[in-house]
């Protein structure tokens, strides 16, 4: 099928459960689990599943999640639903975690920064617990495959939720599957390197390991002075001077690469390759976790970078060349068709396959098979015929990226 072959001399595993696709965060919320449906269909359509061991993820257990998260927070996440939210809010041990109200808050925030208001970053939605425990389960199983040596590269595009804190949801992230994975890796590996190419700062992972010299966190992200609306780009942290907690043994084991809007392929590649290679040389990790947030692509609904799928994938190839056990995770990505193209391309890179630019017609699912199916906001998404891997052309997107400052 389509000349897809298994890689020689190493093994790749793919961890996923299609039930995450049924979820929606709310009418116009930018996070669309539907992008994972698109990704899955491209991966299967190209026959890339023949090049990997594929595993259906099972939900993580509450105790596994307590390895990092607050016990009450885990209970709340496992019990919460739109119908139970109000009652749960009244329980004292949960109520105690409600953040103080800010006078210009547009949304009412409940315990742990969760909310049923439509404008919330972290809404409570139908099937939310299922979604959270599944993406976490997929990451933890992927981690297990790396630890046992059954996989050399393990992939979970539904994971990579880097903003979640110990007892607080943040920026569309509820459970920090990355922190949980690294905690498992630390049982066997002396040093773990975490690299984050999502357009946002990987603050949750950095914070969790700010005192830990055995984990080095390296995030590339949009960062800069206030924009014209008076806001900083989310989450507003990750300055170049931020290098881990001062005065602790963790100092110098965090690195941040703040980047202005509009960065192009050439500039990104220069930064990524010089800094990443120097970091690997100096830190000498025995395994790597790479968060591949696709909101760093040009034309992203939330991102402000201008890099192409080719360059995004080149970051994966560059890290892969070091031949260390590698966990590939998803993350952000808000222009669904580009997210799917990028992660499918990166699945091909991981398995040493090259995909044709255009999707051959015979593997394109018939569009009528999808019409009429409503995904959350009621809009029909573009059909697969438009998913060409070379759609995101160099320079073409410049006009879409606002040159705000710098």
Binding site for Ca ion (CB under 5 A): 196, 198, 219, 221
**Residue 242's binding partner out of ligand ZL4, Ca ion, Zn ion, none, with CB under 5 to 8 Å set by partner kind:** none
Distance (Å, whole) CA 314 – CA 269: 8
Closer to Zn ion at the Cβ: 165 or 200?
200
**Residue 26's binding partner out of ligand ZL4, Zn ion, Ca ion, none, with CB under 5 to 8 Å set by partner kind:** ligand ZL4
Question: Which residue in the list 15, 29, 141, 201 is annotated as catalytic?
Answer: 201
CB of 204 to ligand ZL4, least distance (A): 9
CB of 345 to Zn ion, least distance (A): 19
User: Interaction with ligand ZL4 in 310-339: which residues (CB under 6 A)?
Assistant: 331-332
Site membership for ligand ZL4, residue 224 (CB under 6 A): no
Which one among 99, 118, 149, 367 touches ligand ZL4, defined by CB under 6 A? Answer: 118
User: Interaction with ligand ZL4 in 271-310: which residues (CB under 6 A)?
Assistant: 293, 295, 302
- The answer to whether residue 388 is catalytic is no
Mark the segment that binds Zn ion (CB under 5 A) among 43-51, 122-130, 131-139, 196-204: 196-204
CB-count exposure of residue 8 (10 Å: 0-12, 13-18, 19+)? exposed
Site membership for ligand ZL4, residue 173 (CB under 6 A): yes
CA dihedral 264→266→269→273, nearest 10 degrees, is -150
Sign of CA dihedral 167, 172, 178, 180: positive
Which one among 234, 272, 283, 305 touches ligand ZL4, defined by CB under 6 A? Answer: 234
Mark the segment that binds Zn ion (CB under 5 A) among 30-38, 65-73, 190-198, 352-360: 190-198
Q: Which residues bind Zn ion (CB under 5 A)?
A: 198, 200, 293, 295, 332
In the complex, the residues that contact ligand ZL4 under the rule CB under 6 A are 26, 28-30, 118-119, 121, 161-163, 171-173, 198, 200, 234, 293, 295, 302, 331-332
Active site amino acids: 201
């Amino acid at each position: 099928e389509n000349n897809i072959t298994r890689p020689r001399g190493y093994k790749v595993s793919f961890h996923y459960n299609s039930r995450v696709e049924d979820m929606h965060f709310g009418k116009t919320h930018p996070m669309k689990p539907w992008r994972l449906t698109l990704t899955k269909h491209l991966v299967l359509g190209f026959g890339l599943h023949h090049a990997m061991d594929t595993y259906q993820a099972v939900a993580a257990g509450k105790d596994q999640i307590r390895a990092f998260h607050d016990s009450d927070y885990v209970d709340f996440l496992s019990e919460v639903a739109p119908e139970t939210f109000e009652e749960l809010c009244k329980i004292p041990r949960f109520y105690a975690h409600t953040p103080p109200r800010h006078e210009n808050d547009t949304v009412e925030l409940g315990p742990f920064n969760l909310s049923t208001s439509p404008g919330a970053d972290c809404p409570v939605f139908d099937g939310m617990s299922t979604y959270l425990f599944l993406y976490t389960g997929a990451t933890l199983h992927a981690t297990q495959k790396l630890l046992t040596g059954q996989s050399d590269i393990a992939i979970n595009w539904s994971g990579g939720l880097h903003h979640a804190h110990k007892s607080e949801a943040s920026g569309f992230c509820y459970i920090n599957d990355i922190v949980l994975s690294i905690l498992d890796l630390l049982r066997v590996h002396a040093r773990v390197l975490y690299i984050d190419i999502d357009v946002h700062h990987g603050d949750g992972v950095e914070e969790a390991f700010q005192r830990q010299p055995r984990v080095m966190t390296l995030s590339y992200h949009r960062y800069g002075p206030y924009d014209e609306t008076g806001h900083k780009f989310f989450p507003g942290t990750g300055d170049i001077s931020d290098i881990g907690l001062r005065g602790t043994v963790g100092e110098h084991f965090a690195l941040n690469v703040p980047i202005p809007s509009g960065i192009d392929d050439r500039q990104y590649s220069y930064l990524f390759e010089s800094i990443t290679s120097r970091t690997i040389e100096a830190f000498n990790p025995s395994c790597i976790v790479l968060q591949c947030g696709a909101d760093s692509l040009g034309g992203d609904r939330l991102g402000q970078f201008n890099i192409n799928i080719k360059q995004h994938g080149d970051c994966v190839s560059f890290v892969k060349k070091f031949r260390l056990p590698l966990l590939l995770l998803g993350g952000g990505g808000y222009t669904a068709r580009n997210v799917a193209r990028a992660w499918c391309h990166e699945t091909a890179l991981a398995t040493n396959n090259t995909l044709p630019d255009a999707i051959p017609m015979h593997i394109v699912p018939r569009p009528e098979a999808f019409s009429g199916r409503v995904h959350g906001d009621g809009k029909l998404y573009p059909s697969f015929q438009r998913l060409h891997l070379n759609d995101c052309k160099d320079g073409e997107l410049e006009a879409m990226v606002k040159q705000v400052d710098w």
